[in-house]
Structure 1
Amino acid sequence: MTPAAERDFEVVVIGAGFSGICAAIRLRQAGIHGFVVLDKADDIGGIWRDNTYPGVGVDIPIWGYCFSFEPNPDWRYAYAKGDELKSYADRCVDKYGVRPHLRLGAEVTGLQFDDELDHWDVRTSQGPLRARFVINACGALGRPKLPEIPGLDTFAGAVIHSARWDHAASLAGRVGVIGTGSSAVQIIPEAATRAERLTVFQRTPIWVIPKPDFPIPLFLRRLFRLVPGLLRVPRWIVLAWLELLYNGVFRFKAPSAVTALEWIARLTLLAQVPDHALRERLRPRYRFGCKFLTLSNRYYKTFARDNVDLVSEDIVAITATGVITSDGRRHRIDTLVLATGFEVFERTSLPRFPITGSGGVDLGDYLDRNRNAAYEGVTVPPCPNGFLVHGPYSMTGSFFVTIENAVAHALRCISEARRRGATRVEVKPESHARFIEEMITRQATSIFYNSNCEQARSFYFDQFGDVPLFRPSTSVEAWWRMRRFPLADYTFTSRADRERTGEYQEAS
């Protein structure tokens, strides 16, 4: 390739996690080979590359947490561990010929759309690139969120964020864990077995139900390898369960389903924590579903250990030697673990880097002035030729189904532009506005606005009070609409039209 060819691509994919890997695979299958996959890290895998904390694993049965086109017969556990997901990502990259398209260690620092030439100028740490189309596959959980606590930078011991685990740090002394979200639920039981003293700083209790995990028998793995079609059975069972859970609990807040899950969590808490006062501090005051689905067989019982303390008072400051809480107590800590999640709808994360769209519109400013929303979860008006994976209102029950839906949507737009000879594809503002209105109307009946969810302090909510992380629809509807959306909701135009008439004309 010439130096110019190394800078010019038809498609730039940003992110080499599962979203970027799926986009790359589907591009190749569509016969589009002039693309590159960029990632700031030196390896692939996204969250399963970055999250290596003790106990890391998936929260849904693994048969629903993989690509539909690449079932894996070799999962060792029903709820796979982190290293299995990383190995699966490597396998997909190699099997589908993605590795030659990777450009690792290339951090994207900005995007700017060229209205005259209808392409994106992509600034990276390895130099500038140009692309007709950009698929932003950074994902929603890539930037760790640090708590805004006075004195955090003065702490003299090791400070470890769950997404940037330091395996050289010791958990043998006095360990403090800030946070009780899904990552903390996995970390806390592991830390308790290593620490001399573990102090958990809880801002908000979390509902936890048992995790029906088990090692997958060797004979069953061999059977799956021998008859791969059998893997469809557990996959469809898991997807059906996720669909019932998502729509029954989250979308339609079915009282019987919500109450049943709460009673399962309460009975688990009762069985594992004998102390009544401690149980009351661990019991949420909001309804099940307001926060991320969390499963564990060990979390509640960890607090019954002699070496574990639960602190519910707010943290007011951190010193060189520990944590000060609102009751005036000073908690001596040697190692501080921040299980504080990720930036999702913060201005620093959506978008992850500066994006200047058509007409010089800054995407971050546009979202701040309007709502965090994308047409079908994929496109926004200021960004022609730009597509999101895990954009606002794209997530249904399954992480991987969501990825495949968004990639299919983007590929349909790109393929149609190629067919028409168009150099520019952009969603119509009225189509975008119509989709937003539909999502907001549907979301109003969900559990998020009718179950004291404000007490959950959930990252689901953005600055507008919306819940754009989830799409209020069934997975079947989302699958259909992401692949069969009206092409009339977009305009397809070409540079040739403008050069001939002085303005863009919509392609017929």
Structure 2
Amino acid sequence: MLVIGAGFAGIGAGIGLRRAGIEDFAILDEQDGVGGSWHANRYPGIAVDISAFSYSFAFEPFPEWSRAFPPGAELKSYADHCVRKYGLRPHLRLNAQVVRAEYDEQAHLWEVFLRDGTSMTARFVICATGWLTKPKPPGTAGLDDFAGEVVHTARWDQNLELAGRRVGLIGTGASAVQVVPEIAPRVAHLHVYQRTPIWLFPKPDVPLPKAVRRVFRAAPWAQRTLRLFTDTVTELSFVIAMIHHRQFPFLVRAGEALSRLYLRSQVGGDRELMSKLTPGYRLGCKRPSFGKGYWRAFTRDNVDLVTEPVERITATGIRTADGAEQRFDVLVLATGFHVLENLPPFPMHGTGGRELKEFWESERFQTYEGSSVKGFPNLWFIVGPYSFTGGSWFGMIDYQVTHALRVIREARRRRATEAAIRPEKHDRSFRKTLRRQRNTVFLDRSCTGSRSYYFDSRGDAPAVRPATTYEAAWRARHFDLDDYRYTRARGRVPAPAVGRPAGGEPLRRPL
């Protein structure tokens, strides 16, 4: 077996495999450490924007959080902790970038090709590559002309010095919400270029005293109880409001009213500034966030919010559509990531040689229960189209791993070499997803102006599954295993192998 990705999704898949008694697997990752985004992202102010009591594995509460919303370094430490505790080190293969994967219909094997020229074969593949891995530069002309320093938040240069310098920051999403208040007091002047404002809520980030941590260590049930509370609040206040917007529109309106009150408290009633920072789309169309000091930063004398469209990046700065040009020493790109187009971040060819992205582009993003795709046997996604409910990321990892493991165990029980979702079951699942999407906030007309990564070119919102986390978890444990077709390859079947040079003999143990 292969797990592609060593972020929390891949770590969760590895833990699930070991708990199921499956040891013949490897976890690949293109980076030199585990943790995914929490290994790569190190920009100033980086922190989790959902309570750590929910942003962690339910079976592995972590009593050492320093805060309710801990900094990124603690999330990275938690990833390392999980790898150590659950014995995943022997299964890791880091600095192993996958460039393509092809399915052998006769042998019922996936062959995965790596950047270094080697290939690996596996019976089953769990794709855990995540969303936020490929930085997205601004679609603005002239970026290469800028003579100063340029840094993307996802690839932050730890040696970059901002003190006393003029900085232009492009983007006002979740990363900017954390970066702006962190760097504003240090720079000479900061211009923030906003294309689309963000709905923001006060961040209840409090330090966790040593006494509280001692209680969590001594009584893990206390932390689990707190997690149940934070999970429930998230489901009730955001997930249900988003996916049942047609039935409960007042929930979205209430959330927007709360956000506006918070904005007023942060900017002192400055109507012009409030107008610029207030989204023109419904809450939920685009990812909201929790902020601490972001809106207040725009009341500083050395911070300006620019809403005029950026026309071009010049050798010395940024020129906007009104002809105004500002000079900068440094450009910070808080422009997010390629998301839907990053699913997966490499070509995958299934039965008949069909490429997965081409299938989704021509026939819409679609999956069976957010996990598998017709025509791509022995393959499951942790993060794929219609996987994430918008609630607990770790809840999603749990139910997606549960789904894959149920099928893998069933295939092994039947001595099958291939498990393929039946096309009619796949199509029925997708039709149900589209029907349920009609109830969501995503069909609100205002969403068309949100520029949200939730949406594809057809107006579907495949980044979010129209279900609660609890429902998705129940489905993962109860879907009919006969929705898959189990078959055995005919004739002599080559053994899966890891670490094989392309066209060569296996170098390591079979998978």
Q: What is the TM-score when the length of structure 2 is the normalising length?
A: 0.93
**Residue pairs, 1:20-419, within 5 angstroms:** 20-126=10-116, 127-172=118-163, 173-253=165-245, 254-274=248-268, 275-346=270-341, 349-396=342-389, 397-419=391-413
The CA deviation at 1:451 is 5.4
The superposition leaves residues 454-491 of structure 1 with CA deviations (integer Å, 9 ceiling, x where unpaired) of 12111110122101111111222110111211112110
RMSD, aligned α-carbons: 1.3
Equivalent pair of 2:166/2:327 in contact (CA under 8 Å):
yes
The CA deviation at 1:125 is 2.4
Equivalent pair of 2:388/2:464 in contact (CA under 8 Å):
yes
Aligned to 1:106, the other structure's residue is in SS state: coil
How far apart in 2 are the matches of 1:374 and 1:261?
31
Aligned to 2:132, the other structure's residue is in SS state: coil
Letter in 2 for 1:257: L
Letter in 2 for 1:86: K
The CA deviation at 1:158 is 1.5
Moved more, 103-112 or 165-174: 165-174
Aligned to 2:101, the other structure's residue is in SS state: strand
Letter in 2 for 1:409: H
How far apart in 1 are the matches of 2:489 and 2:276?
63
The CA deviation at 1:41 is 0.8
Equivalent pair of 1:59/1:293 in contact (CA under 8 Å):
no
How far apart in 1 are the matches of 2:71 and 2:63?
15
Letter in 2 for 1:465: G
Aligned to 2:135, the other structure's residue is in SS state: coil
Equivalent pair of 2:282/2:444 in contact (CA under 8 Å):
no
Equivalent pair of 1:207/1:284 in contact (CA under 8 Å):
yes
Letter in 2 for 1:365: E
The CA deviation at 1:332 is 0.7
How far apart in 2 are the matches of 1:259 and 1:465?
23
Letter in 1 for 2:135: P
The superposition leaves residues 185-241 of structure 1 with CA deviations (integer Å, 9 ceiling, x where unpaired) of 111111211110000000011111111110012111101111112111101001101
Letter in 2 for 1:321: T
Equivalent residue number for residue 5 of structure 1: none
Aligned to 2:235, the other structure's residue is in SS state: helix
The CA deviation at 1:154 is 1.4
How far apart in 2 are the matches of 1:141 and 1:104?
18
Aligned to 1:378, the other structure's residue is in SS state: coil
Equivalent residue number for residue 487 of structure 1: 481
How far apart in 1 are the matches of 2:203 and 2:339?
26
Aligned to 1:416, the other structure's residue is in SS state: helix
Letter in 1 for 2:235: E
Equivalent pair of 1:170/1:335 in contact (CA under 8 Å):
no
Equivalent pair of 2:53/2:230 in contact (CA under 8 Å):
yes
The CA deviation at 1:293 is 2.2
Unaligned runs of 5+ in 1: 1-10, 500-508
Equivalent pair of 1:272/1:301 in contact (CA under 8 Å):
yes
The CA deviation at 1:265 is 1.7
Compared with structure 1, are the counterparts of its residues 231 and 215 closer, same or farther at alpha carbon in structure 2 (3 Å cutoff)?
same
Aligned to 2:122, the other structure's residue is in SS state: strand
Aligned to 2:124, the other structure's residue is in SS state: strand
The superposition leaves residues 119-154 of structure 1 with CA deviations (integer Å, 9 ceiling, x where unpaired) of 011101241111111111001111111111111111
The superposition leaves residues 407-459 of structure 1 with CA deviations (integer Å, 9 ceiling, x where unpaired) of 11111111111100000011111111111111111111111112511121111
| Higher relative contact order, chain-length normalized (CA < 8 Å, sep 6+) | 2
How far apart in 1 are the matches of 2:332 and 2:458?
30
Aligned to 2:134, the other structure's residue is in SS state: coil
How far apart in 1 are the matches of 2:56 and 2:465?
20
Letter in 1 for 2:256: E
Aligned to 2:340, the other structure's residue is in SS state: coil
Moved more, 489-498 or 416-425: 489-498
Equivalent residue number for residue 4 of structure 1: none
Letter in 2 for 1:65: Y
Equivalent pair of 1:63/1:234 in contact (CA under 8 Å):
yes
How far apart in 2 are the matches of 1:356 and 1:54?
39
Q: What is the TM-score when the length of structure 1 is the normalising length?
A: 0.94
The CA deviation at 1:497 is 8.2
Letter in 2 for 1:380: V
